């Protein structure tokens, strides 16, 4: 029985061989890639959905019922994002983007850490916490380091300022989603990193748009799609991704 370290080493080599022969790569990331930057995930031990109610905090109905509660929660997360720094996993993905002619990073995260690490071709599938927008007139305003002051939620037009986040039950931005679908359809290798792959349509990018792509999963735990993955790397993003970049470095 190969021990886990040897198994991971062999699988990193397999993945690197595939990457060497590829031009087009897609990476799909979730909260797990920011765990080593100190930001909580949603569903793991200590996850945000273990201690908060999704319906109250991440739905339009919950926002409309109690906007101050929702903004208090997002303001806390925004402050945590400001304290967080990109980790070696984010940095490795920024390196990979430079290495491939066609590299698309689709993230479910709203913490802006991929941009902070230097990634540029990033599709923020679930929005981001850099600005708020009015529910009625669409007016936008940049969010300060501590988010939105609770006495500035009401907009003069009669609407309310909401986080620029895609909530449960809301559609993703059409233009963003179309770019993500196109990138998944043409990818030769798909890297699925730090996501439980239970939220759609984002999770569909991993296995439903391209039967011929070679799909690798980087996650310390099993996920909802692990059995459909070609190359399972049981490790953390900050451990495994730098090893892939190192093994790929030009000979
Ligand atoms: N490196 C890699 N993966 C990790 C790490 C790590 N250091 N730590 C945890 N993980 C994995 C967990 O094993 C889990 O599979 O990250 C995953 C996090 O899963 P979730 O908490 O469900 O987060 P995510 O998949 O991003 O959730 C998707 O759900 O709540 C909504 O909109 C929210 O974007 C979010 C979406």
Ligand 1 nearest atom to the CA of residue 110, by list position: 34
How much is the pLDDT for 249?
Answer: 83
**pTM value > 0.95:** yes
End-to-end CA distance of the chain: 32
CATH top class, domain 40-83+128-165: alpha beta
How many C-beta atoms surround the C-beta of residue 13 within 10 A? Answer: 12
Own/partner long-range contacts of 3-12 (Cβ < 8 Å, ≥24 apart): 4/234, 7/234, 8/233, 8/234, 8/235, 8/240, 11/216, 11/231, 11/232, 11/233, 12/233, 12/240, 12/243, 12/244, 12/247
- Measure 196 CA to ligand 1 centroid, in angstroms: 5
Question: Which of 28, 29, 30, 86 has most ligand 1 atoms within 8 Å of its beta carbon, as the pocket-test mutant?
Answer: 30
Cα–Cα distance, 149 to 138 (Å, whole number): 18
How much is the pLDDT for 129?
Answer: 97
Q: What is the pLDDT of residues 204-228, one digit of tens each?
A: 999 999 999 999 999 999 999 999 9
Per-residue pLDDT 10s for the chain (251 aa) are 558 888 888 999 999 999 999 999 999 999 999 999 999 999 988 899 988 899 899 999 999 999 999 999 999 999 999 999 999 999 999 999 999 999 999 999 999 999 999 999 999 999 999 999 999 999 999 999 999 999 999 999 999 999 999 999 999 999 999 999 999 999 999 999 999 999 999 999 999 999 999 999 999 999 999 999 999 999 999 999 999 999 998 74
How much is the pLDDT for 231?
Answer: 97
Q: Cβ(35) to ligand 1 under 6 A?
A: yes
Q: Cβ(32) to ligand 1 under 6 A?
A: yes
Q: Cβ(43) to ligand 1 under 6 A?
A: yes
How much is the pLDDT for 6?
Answer: 84
Task: Parse the chain into domains and list their residue ranges.
Answer: 1-39+86-126+172-251, 40-83+128-165
How much is the pLDDT for 2?
Answer: 58
How much is the pLDDT for 51?
Answer: 87
- Measure 98 CA to ligand 1 centroid, in angstroms: 25
Q: Cβ(47) to ligand 1 under 6 A?
A: yes
- Measure 43 CA to ligand 1 centroid, in angstroms: 7
Q: Cβ(221) to ligand 1 under 6 A?
A: yes
How much is the pLDDT for 35?
Answer: 98
Residue nearest to atom 8 of ligand 1 (CA): 32
User: Which active-site residues does the annotation give?
Assistant: 126
Per the CATH hierarchy, to which homologous superfamily does domain 1-39+86-126+172-251 belong?
A: TPP-binding domain (3.40.50.1220)
Cα–Cα distance, 173 to 176 (Å, whole number): 5
- Measure 247 CA to ligand 1 centroid, in angstroms: 26
Ligand 1 nearest atom to the CA of residue 41, by list position: 21
């Amino acid at each position: 029985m190969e021990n886990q370290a040897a198994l991971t080493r062999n699988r990193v080599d397999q993945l690197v061989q595939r990457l060497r022969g590829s031009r087009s790569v897609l990476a799909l990331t979730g909260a797990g890639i920011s765990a080593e930057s100190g930001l909580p995930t949603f569903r793991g031990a200590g996850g945000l959905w273990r201690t908060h109610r999704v319906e109250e905090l991440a739905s339009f109905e919950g926002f409309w019922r109690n906007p101050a509660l929702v903004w208090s929660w997002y303001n806390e997360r925004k402050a945590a994002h400001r304290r967080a720094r990109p980790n070696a996993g984010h940095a490795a993905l920024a390196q990979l983007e430079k290495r491939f002619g066609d590299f698309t990073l689709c993230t479910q995260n709203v913490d802006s850490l991929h941009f902070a690490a230097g990634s540029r071709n990033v599709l923020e599938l679930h929005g981001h916490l850099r600005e708020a927008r009015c529910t009625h007139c669409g007016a936008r305003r940049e969010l300060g380091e501590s988010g939105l002051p609770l006495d500035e939620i009401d907009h003069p037009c009669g609407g309310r300022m909401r986080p620029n986040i895609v909530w449960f039950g809301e559609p993703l931005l059409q233009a963003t989603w179309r770019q993500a679908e196109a990138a998944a359809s043409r990818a030769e290798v798909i890297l699925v990193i730090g996501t439980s792959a239970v939220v759609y349509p984002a999770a569909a990018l991993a296995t439903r748009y391209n039967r011929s792509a070679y799909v690798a999963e980087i996650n310390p735990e099993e996920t909802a799609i692990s059995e459909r993955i070609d190359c399972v790397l049981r490790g953390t993003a900050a451990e495994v991704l730098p090893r892939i970049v190192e093994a790929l470095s030009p000979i």
